[in-house]
Amino acid sequence: MFELRANKVATMKNDLLSGLTVALALVPEAVAFAFVAGVEPLVGLYAAFMVGLITAVIGGRPGMISGATGALAVVMVSLVADHGVQYLFATVVLMGIIQVLAGVLKLGKFIRMVPHPVMLGFVNGLAIVIFLAQLGQFGVEGGTGWLSGTFMEGSVVDVAWMSGGELGMMLGLVALTMAIIHFLPKLTTAIPSSLAAILVVSLLVIGLNLDTKTVGDVAGIAGGLPEFSIPMVPLNMETFLIILPYSLILAAIGLIESLLTLRMVDEITETHGSSNRECMGQGAANIVTGFFGGMGGCAMIGQSMINVNSGGRGRLSGISAALFLLAFILVASSLIERIPVAALIGVMFIVVIGTFEWSSFRIMNKVPKGDAFVLVLVSVVTVLTDLAVAVIIGVIVSALIFAWEHAKHIRVEKKEDREGSSVYKIHGPLFFGSTTHFLEQFSPKTDNNDVVIDFADSRVCDHSGLEAIDTLAERYTNTGKTLHLLHLSNDCRKLLKKADNMVEVNVIEDPKYFVATNA
């Protein structure tokens, strides 16, 4: 009993301390995302607080951190520029409704269709994006920075760089932060190393009065509690048609990023989250956020990695991160604004190192060339465009490669039996990619009068396969030949039209499977 209570206390301590670490790193990111979207800093901070709190309470993945993200911000910027921030709030509400519907309809299960090479590419690409985004903080005052979602719209291309002693100071503090995070766990795990690094570097800068960029130089974070307000937009069809495309895109990006992050945290913690519950949690969070003046959000892979690596596993870690962030906004803004940006950059660089799948270099020559190509493709597209586009392209290319490879697996073996019948034995799957090769293997004009086609070692996978069988049956009928189709599943027999009366049923041996078709 004592050990159980001790473990529970230790878990709560880990969750609280990791939540504090996450909250400290959330501040500059939320502010920067707000700048990217073209809204006030508090709009990003309120989103980070509300989305983080609600998803931590009702979401499907304890320990995962959600908040305002750059992937969503880069989509929002044109909406805000063309129509104003109130249209953004209305869009976030509709985005949340769409995400809740996705959860109700159990669409979260389709994340299983994302192949492993796409997952590796997503992780590597996002790690590169996080790294490139930190480089923007090495710019002089007035430059933009932090994670923006894409390289081209990021913080690297439009920054006037630091130089001389200022740059040396920044690099030195970043290196010190990373060293503390790396070596402290070897001495003690009583406090998360990321939190310790932020505190040590902050005290060093304040105590020695070092001249370096701080959170306060990025933006002020002081504010009050978010207030309920219905978005001030005309409630008509014109408004709906304006916000609907943005809502659909934001909902898709948010769910893809959240569900992929959920899978990643599942693998790290060796536990299992609920994808459909996460869809509903993300949706509910965005609905509330839209009514309370926030810019919406989704899961954050960088913050989730900080949380998990700092020992945060339960819902308390996400809840405490959100509440600490609110406390910073309400009462501790003057202290948080004194934290050196270098400390937070160091934390994010460690996240980059931990997030990137370095093993992908080792396996490039060991996995199929198609998988290696998809891995690299998704990484590049994630950096150049955004996560949703990269994942969709990766899934499509993976499916095409799979279809091409399996189209070559079908094999037709021909022989004659003692009764003088032409017997065709089919091996491999029959689907849209293999139907052409399948039909080319038969010779209706030259075959014997009695023809047998045996599907015992084959499987008809889709409607294209059924149509190929019907086409073949019609060819043999037109030549006056007798055709026998053996070992087709009951599902196939029901769906076949022209060949229906040629199917011979063997109840004992016929396979039992279902064809993926809408026929």
pLDDT digits (tens, 9 = 90+) for 336-347: 888 898 988 888
Is residue 190 over pLDDT 80?
no
Is residue 156 over pLDDT 60?
no
From the list 184, 207, 208, 206, the residue with the least C-alpha distance to 195 is 184
Q: Residue 1: what pLDDT?
A: 43
Q: Residue 167: what pLDDT?
A: 87
Is residue 158 over pLDDT 80?
no
Contact residues for 507 (Cβ-Cβ < 8 A; gap 6+): none
CA angle 15, 95, 392 (to 5 degrees): 85
Is residue 332 over pLDDT 70?
yes
Is residue 173 over pLDDT 60?
yes
**pLDDT band per the 50, 70, 90 thresholds, residue 513:** low
pLDDT (average), residues 220-225: 84
Rounded to whole angstroms, the Cα distance separating 194 from 21 reads: 7
Rounded to whole angstroms, the Cα distance separating 39 from 88 reads: 10
Is residue 152 over pLDDT 90?
no
Higher pLDDT pick, 236 / 302: 236
Q: Which of 112-116, 120-124, 152-156, 365-369 has the lowest mean pLDDT?
A: 152-156
Q: Residue 143: what pLDDT?
A: 45
Q: Which of 137-146, 168-177, 280-289, 456-465 has the lowest mean pLDDT?
A: 137-146
Taken as a whole, the chain contains a residue count of 519
pLDDT in tens, 100-147: 999 999 988 887 788 889 888 988 887 888 788 778 777 665 444 444
Domains of the chain: 2-379 (no CATH), 408-504 (3.30.750.24)
pLDDT (average), residues 29-58: 88
**pLDDT band per the 50, 70, 90 thresholds, residue 426:** very high
Is residue 517 over pLDDT 60?
no
Q: Residue 282: what pLDDT?
A: 96
Do strands 66-67 and 411-416 pair parallel, antiparallel, or not at all (unpaired)? unpaired
Rounded to whole angstroms, the Cα distance separating 443 from 311 reads: 67
Helix/strand/coil for 299: strand
Q: Residue 504: what pLDDT?
A: 59
**pLDDT band per the 50, 70, 90 thresholds, residue 500:** low
In Å, how far are 144, 150, 389, 455 from 382, measured between CA atoms?
20, 7, 7, 43
Is residue 33 over pLDDT 50?
yes
> Do the Cβ atoms of 391 and 260 come closer than 8 Å?
yes
Q: Residue 140: what pLDDT?
A: 61
Q: Residue 20: what pLDDT?
A: 92
> Do the Cβ atoms of 260 and 26 come closer than 8 Å?
no
Q: Residue 410: what pLDDT?
A: 87
From the list 471, 470, 476, 424, the residue with the least C-alpha distance to 449 is 476
pLDDT (average), residues 252-274: 89
